Amino acid sequence: MERGPAPALRRLRIRLVPVSLCAAALSVFALAGAPAGSGAPAGSPTRAPAIAGQPAGAPTNLPHFSDNRPHAELAAAIADAMTDEELLAQTLMFGWAGLDPSPLVTSWVAERSLGSIKVFGWNTDNTQKVAESVTLLQKKAAEGRFGIPLFVATDQEGGWIRHIKGRTSETPGNLAIGASGVPADAWYSGYYISRELAALGINLNFAPTVDLYTDYESTVIGPRSFGEDPESAGILGASFMAGSREAGVLTTAKHFPGHGDTGSDSHGKLPVIDIDKKTFAERELVPFRRMIQAGVPAIMSGHLSFPRITPNGEPATFSKKLLTALLREELKFTGLIITDDIMMNGATSWAGSVSKAVQLALEAGNDIVESSTTPGFYDALWVNNIERMKRSEAFRSRVRDAAYRIIRAKLDYFKSGSAVPIFPDLDNIDERIPDPEGKQFFLSLAARSVTVVRNESLPLQADPTKKMLIASSFPEFLSAGRTRYPDANVSGINGQLFRMARASDTVIVSLASESEVPFVRDLQWSGANIVIVSLLSPVLLDRVPWAKNAIAVYSYAPDSFRAAFASIAGDFEPRGIMPLKDVQ
């Protein structure tokens, strides 16, 4: 007898959404089990698809990225022709300081054949400048001996984590998607976010986060998660991936094997997640299994210790048991394994040095080692690992295997016909960012995510005989409130709030951080009707159990503010479902 869908999947399927959205969401399920890229099959034409933006022609004495050969064969030929320095450089991904690429990172690409670059938030106030930087570095890469393009990565998860700023869309984010419960919302979030990245020449996104929101006090993952249900996180993550793929951008499931059950941040120290093997297998690994089944092209390893899973509690980044035995051999993942920033204390404190951290990461099974900074040309990170390649055939073989996997992935991607162009169209950035079609979608997602947590007197109609106060630390929240209630007074969340609340009949107040809790808590004695709008983590609503009216919107995005006030005013009936089971 055929079994029905799992409870989490059942809940996701029954939500009412436009037919067009549902149809798009179904594409993710068709991808289940598909390989990340299979290269040129037997009997296929010998001419490879054109690589957008790459100059034609190649040296005849060396294999070249533009050669028309089966991908596996060409990747092996290039890897075999590389020097030790070229092999190691292919496994490295560097960021740089400032808006313009530094001469140092440019030299790494031009002279050392660096394999990948990472665009961070400090590089991105000007989206035009981002596209120009990508163009410059890709041109340097194309001039290399083998003409191998760069993977250009960033963290554009949506919501709270938005490294590419400037004109890019501010979106409700993953926890809002979890509250909507609609796979199509994840699909279109991935799609529109990725269309903006593609306009800039960014081809690899370190998203989605499929860590679970199991530690309610965590400020590291929190609203970056789709929620605490493993199956839902996997379904929504796979949908985000499929939408991104449609826009031509590669995705990365993170942070393997799961960062959700800790309040510690690996930027500062090594988080320890003390869970047993059963919980680990039945909770943490579930979203990653589903992402692998759906063909995710990359997984990010986390600087996370699981002392009851690995014998000595080393970070997953350095664990051959977790990355090779579990991820590669047991879970059958064939894509790229990429480290989180190797400069984080969670990695270097264990390894003792950045140089050693790079060595351990590669030996454990990572293919790409990410660094937020650009090391010097003769930094120990480089010199020590080149020397190790010359001394240890096993280490050299591991680096060569990683470089081969990267080159093969690049061939599969850049010659697929659907990749992000290597050189972005610099004359068309403003027309594509923010995405003109995404604007209406993200507002509708914000509305679908609004969750009524408590309700005694909602909706609220404007009443000229009553005094209303709107309070927030966000000017955009105050502006959205005044648009809906023009006669309302406004206040920050500070020492004046209680006095102004006592002179009001109704107070609509946002709650976004632990530091605001004391000011909001005092409002219970103001005598006013209080409506609390939770803006990021709804866990803070547990700090104000006396509040009889509370909604959650999970985001700082202006669209979420507008959706909040539209729901408070009764424009629509909120249907979001709290993605954290114990928040009431």
What are the angstrom distances between the C-alpha of 120 and each of 100, 202, 433?
Answer: 12, 12, 18
Token pair of 276 as six digits: 């047993």
Rounded Cα distance, 442 and 439, in Å? 6
* Contact by Cβ (8 Å): 511, 472: no
CATH number of the structural domain spanning residue 562: 3.40.50.1700
Containing 252, the helix (H) or strand (E) segment is strand 250-256
The answer to whether residue 64 is domain-embedded is: no
**At residue 492, what is the residue type?**
G
In the block, tokens 């879970």 appear at: 331
The answer to whether residue 2 is domain-embedded is: no
* Contact by Cβ (8 Å): 323, 330: no
- Count of domains in the chain? 2
Give the DSSP letter string of 323-363: IIIIIIIIS---SEEEESPTTSHHHHHHHSSHHHHHHHHHH
Exposed e or buried b per residue across 437-463, where buried means at least 16 C-beta atoms within 10 angstroms of its C-beta:
ebeebbbbbbbbbbbbbbeeebebeee
Q: For residue 369, what are the β-bridge partners?
A: 92
At 363, phi and psi to the nearest 5? -65, -30
User: 517 pLDDT exceeds 90?
Assistant: yes
The answer to whether residue 3 is domain-embedded is: no
Rounded Cα distance, 450 and 104, in Å? 47
* Contact by Cβ (8 Å): 46, 144: no
The dihedral region occupied by 250, where left means phi > 0, alpha psi between -120 and 50, and beta the remainder, is beta
Residues 412, 458 share a domain: no
Rounded Cα distance, 282 and 396, in Å? 36
Q: Residue 463 catalytic?
A: no
In which band, very low, low, confident or very high, does the pLDDT at 365 lie, cut at 50, 70 and 90?
very high
Residues 457, 421 share a domain: no
Tens of pLDDT, residues 447-483: 999 999 999 999 999 899 999 999 999 999 999 999 9
pLDDT value for 43: 32
Q: Residue 401 catalytic?
A: no
Residues 314, 340 share a domain: yes
pLDDT value for 263: 67
> Measured at the alpha carbon of residue 567, what is the angle toward residues 563 and 569, in degrees to the nearest 5?
120
The answer to whether residue 57 is domain-embedded is: no
CATH number of the structural domain spanning residue 89: 3.20.20.300
Largest CA distance in the chain: 85
Rounded Cα distance, 448 and 575, in Å? 6
Q: Exposed, middle or buried by CB within 10 Å (0-12, 13-18, 19+), for 343?
A: middle
pLDDT value for 219: 84
Q: Exposed, middle or buried by CB within 10 Å (0-12, 13-18, 19+), for 101?
A: buried
Rounded Cα distance, 536 and 417, in Å? 39
The answer to whether residue 42 is domain-embedded is: no
What are the angstrom distances between the C-alpha of 387 and each of 177, 236, 380, 395?
Answer: 48, 44, 10, 10
Residues 466, 367 share a domain: no
pLDDT value for 252: 99
pLDDT value for 294: 98
Question: Which one is predicted more confidently, 509 or 54?
Answer: 509
Give the DSSP letter string of 41-90: -TT--SSPPPPTTPPS---SSS--TT--S-HHHHHHHHHHHS-HHHHHHH
pLDDT value for 146: 99
In which band, very low, low, confident or very high, does the pLDDT at 268 lie, cut at 50, 70 and 90?
low
pLDDT value for 32: 32
User: 269 pLDDT exceeds 80?
Assistant: no
- Average pLDDT on 207-235 reads 96
Residues 400, 291 share a domain: yes
Closest CA to 467 of 500, 511, 509: 500
Exposed e or buried b per residue across 140-160, where buried means at least 16 C-beta atoms within 10 angstroms of its C-beta:
bbbebbbbbbbbbbbbbbbbb
Averaged confidence pLDDT in the chain: 91
The residue range of the domain holding 491 is 450-568
Tens of pLDDT, residues 41-92: 333 333 334 454 444 444 558 999 999 999 999 999 999 999 999 999 999 9
Rounded Cα distance, 110 and 195, in Å? 28
Name, in order, each residue with C-beta under 8 angstroms of 248's C-beta and a sequence gap of 6 or more. Answer: 194, 198, 203, 418, 419, 420
Name, in order, each residue with C-beta under 8 angstroms of 42's C-beta and a sequence gap of 6 or more. Answer: none
Alpha helices, H only, 63-159: 71-81, 84-90, 103-112, 127-142
Residues 463, 383 share a domain: no
Lowest mean pLDDT among 14-18, 82-86, 435-439: 14-18
Containing 467, the helix (H) or strand (E) segment is none
pLDDT value for 38: 35
- Which of the following is catalytic: 267, 401, 425, 505? 267
Taken in order 346, 347, 349, 350, the sign of the CA dihedral is: positive
* Contact by Cβ (8 Å): 150, 202: no
Residues 539, 419 share a domain: no
Residues 418, 383 share a domain: yes
Residues 175, 133 share a domain: yes
The answer to whether residue 195 is domain-embedded is: yes
Among candidate residues 385, 405, 432, the one where a domain is terminated: 432
Question: Which one is predicted more confidently, 341 or 313?
Answer: 341
Share of the chain above pLDDT 70, in %: 89
- Which of the following is catalytic: 340, 341, 412, 559? 340
Q: For residue 491, what are the β-bridge partners?
A: 471
Residues 405, 369 share a domain: yes
Alpha helices, H only, 352-504: 354-364, 380-391, 393-414, 429-432, 438-449, 475-484, 497-502
**What DSSP designation does 161 have?**
E
Tens of pLDDT, residues 146-202: 999 999 999 999 999 999 999 999 999 999 999 999 999 999 999 999 999 999 999
The answer to whether residue 552 is domain-embedded is: yes
Tens of pLDDT, residues 2-14: 333 333 333 333 3
Residues 403, 499 share a domain: no
Residues 132, 272 share a domain: yes
The answer to whether residue 68 is domain-embedded is: no
pLDDT value for 60: 58
